[in-house]
Amino acid sequence: MSQLVYETADELASATADRLVAALAAAQAARGTASVVLTGGRTGIAVLAALRSATLDWSSLDIYWGDERFLPAGDPERNETQAREALLDHVPVSPARVHPMAPSDGEFGDDPDAAAEAYAVLLKDVPSFDVCLLGVGEEGHTASIFPHSPAVYETARAVVAVRDCPKPPPTRVSLTLPTIRQASEVWLMTTGEAKAEPVASALAGASEEDVPAAGARGKRHTLWILDRAAASRL
């Protein structure tokens, strides 16, 4: 596990984008393909926007999501919608290799459990993610895994429906911690003074039940990417 600290959120986004391009290009050079798990939130979307001008073999990249707000397709609050606006609509990705979670008006209707199950089936053919990008919430949540929620205790399922989230919207779909831990590298990115306490707690060894971000680890490497404010209590 390691940490990178940048002075500002803008510096963090730019540097993380560069680092991600290098990691994905290395995977493509080694295997001919690469995979990344995207996250939403202010920091995650800023990183995606910074990738627009990157030189990368976009056609050989598989794109997944760590969690999704269970809302209709195209809703501005969906992580997929924000990712498309920030990056995916501006680069030559292969549509067949972009794997969003189902919306609430999609083929499974308003059934987040069915949407979660379908995404779990999709992931059965994915041996590992190269990089899983995650954010960290003010209470220590990551993906849509909140402290002491059913999702944080899940060990059997790869993807779960999440209900009654303490932050809107209340219904979501999320990878579970065991699935996140199948990624080769997990990068937890966050900014701002409000994140300083959960960051410090996670890095000090808090339980994943109390601070779910503490349970997000990569098989090969776990990287915390912070701005100065988020790192202020380390």
The domain that holds 78 is classified in CATH as: 3.40.50.1360
Of 141, 174, 169, the C-alpha closest to 71 is 169
Containing H/E element for 222? Answer: strand 221-227
Q: Is residue 233 part of a domain?
A: no
Of 94, 71, 80, the C-alpha closest to 48 is 80
**pLDDT tens-place string over residues 175-188:** 999 999 999 999 99
Say how far residue 228 (Cα) sits from the centre of its chain: 21
Tell me the pTM: 0.97
- Structural domain boundaries enclosing 170: 2-227
Taking the CA atoms of residue 135, residue 44, residue 227 and residue 196 in that order, the dihedral angle to the nearest 10 degrees is -30
Q: Is residue 232 part of a domain?
A: no
Roughly how many angstroms between the first and final C-alpha of the chain, as a whole number? 14
Residue 127 has pLDDT above 90, yes or no: no
Q: Is residue 104 part of a domain?
A: yes
Q: Is residue 191 part of a domain?
A: yes
Can you list the alpha helix ranges (DSSP code H) found in 51-168? 79-86, 112-123
Residue 6 has pLDDT above 90, yes or no: yes
Q: Is residue 90 part of a domain?
A: yes
Task: For residues 191 and 135, give the distance between their C-alpha atoms in angstroms, rounded to a whole number.
Answer: 9
Q: Is residue 126 part of a domain?
A: yes
**pLDDT tens-place string over residues 86-103:** 999 999 999 999 999 999
Structural domain tally of the chain? 1
How confident is the model at residue 105, as a pLDDT?
Answer: 98
